[in-house]
Amino acid sequence: MEIFQLFIAAVFVNNIVLAQYLGNCPYLGCSKERGVALGMGSAVIFVIVVSTFFTWLMQRCVLDPLGLGYLQTIVFIVVIAALVQFVEMFLKKMLPPLYAALGIFLPLITTNCAVMGVAILVQREEYDLLTSVLYGLASSIGFTLALLLMAGIRERLDTCRLPKAMAGTPIALIMAGLMSLAFMGFKGMAN
Amino acid sequence: MSVLKEFTKGLWKELPPFRLVLGLCPTLAVTNSASNGLGMGAAVIFVLVLSNMIISMVRHIIPAKVRIACFIVIAASLVVAVELLMQAYAYPLYERLGIFVPLIVVNCIILGRAEAFAAKNGVAASVADGLGMGLGFTMSLTFLGSIREVLGNGTWFGMAVMPESFEPLRIMVQAPGAFICLGLILAGMNMLNFRQARRRGEQAEALAQQQGCGSCGGCTACGAGARDAQAQ
């Protein structure tokens, strides 16, 4: 039950983009069409789950016993970068159809702050391994949800007549603000 | 002369978050008060100036294929240094900024400037570029933070500035306020840009718009990626 609550909280209440301000670059950059948004979202789900698993192990099995906690930032980014590279090579070799779908999005995920953000957040919250991975899964589902909703709205926006200065990023940000306002309505469902 | 030009372009012509639309996450996240914005900006100046300097020094040694990885490691080492310095001398600020201090390493500005400028230019120009961009970033964050703090809390740098009867708009210091405020500022920048262009008799592009995905350095591949996807 507790896990279920954590899941709902991470997808809706503390949505990683709309409430925690993580991963805004791809949120605004890759939300022009639904197809691209879905590809980006699935790649993020995949990478966040795998990287949360490995950074958790890295922190608990290497950094903590050796007293190197202050190296967290540098170790995590290297682990994530290496992992993304490895996942890309693995998919290319073993699962070409999946690579064709996600491949182009993988290299840019290294600098997506949602990945690094989730890895650090689960350490600060001191979740155990299972909870961490589930939290990573839920957060990335939340990310994909926000991205897909945004892409849907922006496809409609293309057909609207906007003031010239508002078109593009400014209106997208204001839409994000309204969406975030809507997501605040989920508060109280879980915390 | 050119060093001065590199320095000043970051202050207005290529103002990072408002004109280049770079580094949005910290811009949105930490600007619920003016002092947080200023503190975050200071940390970014430190990392950006030093990373630009180091990268421009070693740019001939690094093989082109692994340059991004090298940039990330250099930036990460500097971020660890900032974290330790903040823990020692500015602990309350470190607590308030939370996970956004370690996340400076994935801030698009750092990698974006490294790739777009420091990897191609000399040390002096790169330091000037980093300093200008960092100062521009700090100014923008402080500006956005001031607006949100005054409207959302009735204070500025912690001092009460609004009359007693002012009812704070709580939403401004929360997430929706951040998005809407930044959106309006970007629209304002666009309008200013159109007006200037019209005065010069030119046709202007909407600045924030032409960037789209390529707006953040690490994401340059994203724009290209999306185009590839369409081509297939």
Of the candidates B216, B11, B9, the one whose C-alpha atom is nearest the C-alpha of residue B115 is B216
Give CA–CA dist B208/B21, Å, rounded.
6
Residue B221 has pLDDT above 60, yes or no: no
- Say if CB A63 and CB A69 are below 8 A apart: yes
Model pLDDT for residues B38-48, shown as the tens digit of each residue: 999 999 999 99
Q: Residue A69: phi, psi to the nearest 5?
A: -55, -30
> Which tokens go with A66?
């050796």
How far, rounded to the nearest angstrom, does the alpha carbon of residue B85 sit from its chain's CA centroid?
A: 21
Residue B171 has pLDDT above 80, yes or no: yes
Per-residue pLDDT of chain A (191 residues; tens, 9 = 90+): 788 888 888 999 989 999 888 988 788 877 888 888 888 888 889 899 999 999 999 999 999 999 888 899 999 999 998 888 888 888 888 888 878 877 777 777 877 889 999 999 999 989 999 999 999 999 999 999 999 999 999 988 888 888 888 888 889 999 999 999 999 888 877 65
Q: Considering only residues 46 to 105 of chain B, which have any Cβ-Cβ distance to chain A shorter than 8 Å?
A: 69, 72-73, 76-77, 79-80, 83-84, 99, 102-103, 105
Residue B223 has pLDDT above 70, yes or no: no
Residue B58 pLDDT level (bands cut at 50, 70, 90): very high
Q: Looking at residue B172, what DSSP letter applies?
A: G
Amino acid at B48: L
Nearest CA in chain B to A73: B102
| Residues A74-79: contacts with CB under 8 Å, at least 24 apart | A74/B73, A74/B76, A74/B77, A74/B79, A74/B80, A74/B105, A76/A116, A76/A119, A76/A120, A76/B102, A77/A110, A77/A116, A77/B72, A77/B73, A77/B76, A77/B105, A77/B106, A78/B72, A78/B73, A78/B76, A79/A51, A79/A54, A79/A55
Give CA–CA dist B193/B208, Å, rounded.
11
Distance from CA of A128 to the nearest CA of B (A): 19
| Residue among A12, A13, A27, A28 with most chain B CBs within 10 A, to mutate | A28
A162 touches B: beta carbon within 8 Å: no
Q: What was the pLDDT predicted at B202?
A: 66
Show Cβ contacts of residue B218 under 8 Å, excluding neighbours closer than 6 positions.
Answer: A25, A108, A110, A111, A112, B106, B108, B111, B112
ipTM of the complex: 0.88
Question: In DSSP terms, which residues pair with B155 in a beta bridge?
Answer: B160
DSSP 3-state percent helix, strand, coil across chain B (nearest 5): 80, 0, 20
Residues of B in contact with A18 (CB under 8 A): 175
Q: Residue A18: phi, psi to the nearest 5?
A: -85, -20
Is the CB of B229 less than 8 angstroms away from the CB of A104?
yes
